[in-house]
Amino acid sequence: MNIEQKLTGIVINAIQNLYSTEVTPVQVQFQKTKKEFEGDITLVVFPFVKAARKSPEQTGQEIGEYLQQHEPIIKAFNVIKGFLNLSISSAHWVECLNGINAQEAFGTTTATETSPLVMIEYSSPNTNKPLHLGHVRNNLLGFSLSEIMKANGYKVVKTNIVNDRGIHICKSMLAWQKFGNGETPESTGLKGDHLVGKYYVVFDQQYKAEIKELIAQGQTEDEAKKNAPLMLEAQDMLRKWEAHDPTVYQLWQTMNNWVYKGFDETYKKLGVNFDCIYYESETYLLGKEKVEEGLANGVLYKREDGSIWADLTADGLDEKLLLRADGTSVYMTQDIGTAKLRFDHYPIDKMIYVVGNEQNYHFQVLSIILDRLGFKWGKDLVHFSYGMVELPEGKMKSREGTVVDADDLVDEMVNTARETSQELGKLDGCTEEEAQNITRMVGLGALKYFILKVDPRKNMTFNPKESIDFNGNTGPFIQYTHARIKSVLRKAGEQGITIPTAIDTTIPLSEKETSLIQHIANFPAVVKQAADEYSPSIVANYVYDLVKEYNQFYHDFSILKEDDEAVKKMRLLLSQNVARVIKTCMSLLGINVPERM
RNA sequence: GGUCGGGUAGCUCAGCUGGAUAGAGCAACAGCCUUCUAAGCUGUGGGUCAUGGGUUCGAAUCCCAUCCUGAUCACCA
């Protein structure tokens, strides 16, 4: 039980005894005391003023007196306007620290046999181009969210649906076939996904040239787009693929395998992974069955032309096509098929789709349809919707090649980290292997933190040249603080100091120390909130505040040079636990922290 | 036009389940390394919290209207 819960009960009693009024825990609001005022924790008195029929100051005074009489850990209080500031005894905070230290996995819960299973879909790339900055946000959010759900005691299955078929895939295949001269990743030295992406751009260029030509010949733009020979060929190729034409199918397999190899490298570089991967080519036909089942149940209806629809007007939405008149499926049908396959494989209690906010409507519809088709988690499926990443020049467009490539970005980050580290002399005395480890951690840490600290819902701008900093509210700053603490702990070890598992409650604490303990004591609530609100940024902002506070403490107080042995050990124990919380927070964000940097 | 987001310092962002004088970082300027890692710490300047109204003891936060901005409203995925 934390201090706020403990005090809430006493406040309820106080109001009951003093003013004979029942209050609910919701009315009892605590906040951390502002630094300008004396105290650790503050009760907002206003909600009780009416019942007291007294001024806020007087009410606060009376409640304060009652609390002090009935709760020994309150050593003093003061009232300013309607705020009752309570000073809590050092002994309580020391006990609190001891309690935290005793917990093996402080702040996190481990899943058990009976824990609910949540499946999280993220990444969802197309196999016609390499991953870019937008995918990076997706991957980082998906991975972090998975870690956060795990920390809250869920069983988590990370999944990826690869969009490996369709007209857009055929475009890069066709362009390669016509203009590729047999190039391969081996012959060009290009990563497979980059090679394929190159031909996706080639297709677009050639296609545009054809359109221009046809318009010059007198066709309208719409006609030209439809009649361009390349487009007709691509459509023909898609038909052949669906008919399993051996040549096309083999080309498809070859090129997709190049891409997968490239993706694997990128995922590895980003430090994300999946427990199971689904391919659209395997699921896109499966939705049909479920749709027909829905038709038989009367949940869906058939039009005269034979197409099948869902009527969502009762939910305030439109009607939605699920099967074309010729029996072929659409995007929604595929998602139904994928859902069915997944549900066959796993006992899913909760499904989270990490997909950009441009698909809000799609998921609103999917949720209703899955629910009607009998998926028990359909209604409550979570579309973890995040905003776009924009460049200073505006939006990124794959076809036009104006994207920030994921591989380039990571490489650039790591290189910058290397340069900065060298300038600061941080790598002196490191082996090359250590140096690589550190710069990789720092470069990636900077990138990941930069992206994850922003509220996922918001669009964000990313300036490749200026966005990444290593000072201030950044990943490296947090990593640095961790490394600093570890350095102190190492030195303590070298001096033969053992850090106790618990310290004496009679040790006096400074304001900064109580504040730090209060801060880390709040960590479990942050972990829970991050899951409730699906927001890694909550963890990021929390750990930043903690680190900022620790650095002030580090600056103002000596640890190893402290004369009083007991105080020294208390500070070591405190530092050790701060480091632990930092490390856990960062791991929830998918960021590693170095022992030294 | 309908629906759903977003609008807070020059820039990037916190704060939004109503609480004290709206916070950080970057950028600018001024300090702090013979003392545990200066990727740090301290200070200065910088705000009509888009606008107008409402609810309230109290509004950046809740409600209404307006403006700006993004997404979406395909027999594309």
ipTM here:
0.96
CA of A492 to C1' of B32 (A): 26
- The pLDDT assigned to A400 comes to 66
Total-model pTM: 0.95
Q: Which nucleotide lies closest to A472 by the C1' atom and the CA atom? A: B25
What is the SS3 assignment for A342?
helix
User: In the structure, how far is the CA atom of residue A188 from the C1' atom of nucleotide B50, in angstroms?
Assistant: 53
- As a rounded value in angstroms, the CA-to-C1' distance for A359 and B74 is 13
Which chain B positions come under 7 Å from a protein C-beta? Answer: 2-7, 11-16, 19-21, 24-27, 35-42, 57-58, 70-77
Per residue of chain A (597 residues), what is the pLDDT tens digit? Answer: 688 888 999 999 999 999 999 888 888 999 999 988 899 999 999 999 988 999 999 999 999 999 999 999 999 999 998 999 999 999 999 999 999 999 999 999 999 999 999 999 999 999 999 999 999 999 999 999 999 999 999 999 999 999 999 999 999 999 999 999 999 999 999 999 999 999 999 999 999 999 999 999 999 888 898 899 999 999 999 999 999 999 999 999 999 999 999 999 999 999 999 999 999 999 888 888 899 999 999 999 999 999 999 999 888 888 999 999 988 888 899 999 999 999 999 999 999 999 999 999 999 999 999 999 998 888 889 999 999 998 877 777 766 667 889 999 999 999 999 999 999 999 988 999 999 999 999 999 999 999 999 999 899 888 877 778 899 999 999 999 999 999 999 999 999 999 999 999 999 999 999 999 999 999 999 999 999 999 999 999 999 999 999 999 999 999 999 999 999 999 999 999 999 999 999 999 999 999 999
Instruction: Give Cα separations from A67 to A33, A210, A456 (angstroms).
Output: 17, 82, 41
Contact between A414 and A447 (Cβ < 8 Å): no
CA of A301 to C1' of B7 (A): 43
Through-space separation of residue A406 CA and nucleotide B40 C1' in angstroms: 31
For CA atoms A315, A121, A329, A344, give the dihedral sign: negative
CA distance linking residue A334 with residue A166, whole number of Å: 12
A508 CA – B27 C1', rounded, Å: 41
**Residue with CA nearest to B73's C1' atom:** A361
| CB within 8 Å of A280: residues ≥ 6 apart | A161, A162, A163, A164, A165, A166, A334, A338
Please name the nucleotide lying closest to A328, CA to C1': B75
A418, two tokens:
């290397």
Residue A57, CA distances (Å) to A7, A49, A52, A74 in order:
19, 9, 11, 19
Q: Which residue, counting CA atoms, is nearest to the C1' of nucleotide B58?
A: A46
Which tokens belong to A227? 């009649």
| Burial degree of A587 (CB within 10 A; 0-12, 13-18, 19+) | middle
C1’ B62 / CA A477, Å: 37
| CB neighbours of residue A549 within 10 Å | 17
Question: Which of A293-303 are b and which e, b meaning 16 or more Cβ less than 10 Å from the residue's Cβ?
Answer: ebbeeebbeee
Burial of A341 (0-12, 13-18, 19+ CB in 10 A): middle
Q: In Å, what is the separation between the CA of A303 and the C1' of B75?
A: 12
Q: What is the pLDDT of residue A593?
A: 97
pLDDT score recorded for residue A401? 65
* Domains, chain A: 3-88 (3.30.1360.70), 279-347+358-404 (3.40.50.620), 426-588 (1.10.730.10)
Among all protein residues, pick the one whose CA is nearest to the C1' atom of B71.
A358
Is A591 in a helix, a strand, or coil?
Answer: coil
- Rounded distance between C-alpha atoms, residue A512 and residue A507, angstroms: 14
With distances taken from each CA to the C1' atom of nucleotide B13, the closest residue turns out to be A454
Sequence-ordered list of residues with C-beta below 8 angstroms from that of A466, at least 6 positions apart, any chain: none
